[in-house]
Amino acid sequence: MPNALIVIDVQNDFCPGGALAVGGGDQIIPQINAMMGNFDAIILTQDWHPQGHSSFASSHAGKAPFDMIDMPYGAQVLWPDHCVQGMDGASFHAGLNADAADMIIRKGYNPDIDSYSAFFENDHKTPTGLEGYLRTRGITSLTMVGLATDFCVHFSAVDAAKLGFDVTVPEGACRAIDMDGSLAAARAAMQGAGVKLES
Ligand code: VGL
Ligand code: ZN
């Protein structure tokens, strides 16, 4: 059965020196590039926010990065401004073999809703279209790698498993933000949804 490698958000802002740097975020890149030959399809996701996005702390008076806020769709962590459309921080890391991608899916472009998952925005309803792309290509098995384990990889993997895809997350090819136990919670949620965690 056709399989796909889904590379989540390996962008400058999530790598050391970036606006929302994930520790060791760039260390996974050689491994991800080396995996690409083992899949029928390679899909990259790109966090892609307009200026003033509602997930940015700077858009909310009196709020600081990593504060929480209640949005109409649920609780939302507020982030430093990151991955602004067209800015260098939103570009894929130069070391990533982005030329190998069959498909690049952008997310987080809706000013009012964040989108951690590659499948649905954070309202868990609005689709990105990735499911249709995978199904029309006959892809049933997904391996998810990238940044960050506890946010975008986590939400993408859980949604994919709920949609019925066979999902594996090799954790060595991911790195986490890990705030307030978020990595442990993400691992439990992924395992609970039937995602296979590998080293
Ligand atoms: C991400 C926080 C905000 C991620 C994206 O890629 O995990 N995290 N936007
Ligand atoms: Zn984001």
Report pLDDT digits (tens) over 93-140: 999 999 999 999 999 999 999 999 999 999 999 999 999 999 999 999
Q: Which residues of the chain have pLDDT under 50?
A: none
| 88 and 30 belong to one structural domain | yes
Instruction: Give the Cα separation of 141 and 127 in Å (integer).
Output: 19
Between the CA of 68 and the centroid of ligand 2 the distance, in Å, is 14
Question: What pLDDT is recorded for position 167?
Answer: 99
Of the chain, the end-to-end C-alpha distance in Å amounts to 23
Range of the domain at 185: 22-48+83-109+122-198
| 73 and 128 belong to one structural domain | no
Whether 76 contacts 114, CB under 8 Å: yes
Distance from chain centroid for Cα 81: 16
Closest to 35 (Cα-Cα) out of 119, 97, 94: 97
Asked if residue 55 belongs to a domain, the reply is yes
Place of tokens 């690049």: 104
Residue 192: give its domain's CATH number.
3.40.50.850
Question: What pLDDT is recorded for position 26?
Answer: 98
| 104 and 87 belong to one structural domain | yes
Residue to substitute in 116, 128, 158 for testing ligand 1 pocket (most ligand atoms within 8 angstroms of CB)? 116
Using a 6 Å cutoff on CB, does residue 148 contact ligand 1? yes
Residues ≥6 apart with Cβ < 8 Å to 57:
63, 64, 65, 66, 67, 78, 79, 80
Asked if residue 116 belongs to a domain, the reply is no
- Which amino acids are annotated catalytic? 9, 107, 152
Task: Determine which residue's CA is closest to atom 2 belonging to ligand 1.
Answer: 151
Q: Which atom of ligand 1 lies at the shortest distance from residue 14's CA?
A: 6
Number of domains present in the structure of the chain? 2
Using a 6 Å cutoff on CB, does residue 47 contact ligand 1? yes
Tell me the pTM. Answer: 0.98
Q: Which atom of ligand 1 lies at the shortest distance from residue 108's CA?
A: 9
Asked if residue 4 belongs to a domain, the reply is no
| 36 and 130 belong to one structural domain | yes
| 145 and 96 belong to one structural domain | yes
Residue to substitute in 13, 20, 149, 150 for testing ligand 1 pocket (most ligand atoms within 8 angstroms of CB)? 20
Burial readout 5-28 (b: 16 or more C-beta within 10 A, e: otherwise): bbbbbbbbbbbeebbbbbeebbeb
Asked if residue 17 belongs to a domain, the reply is no
Beta pairing, strands 68-71 & 74-77: antiparallel
Asked if residue 87 belongs to a domain, the reply is yes
| Strand (E) or helix (H) holding 142 | strand 141-147
- C-alpha triplet 48, 76, 113: angle, nearest 5°: 45
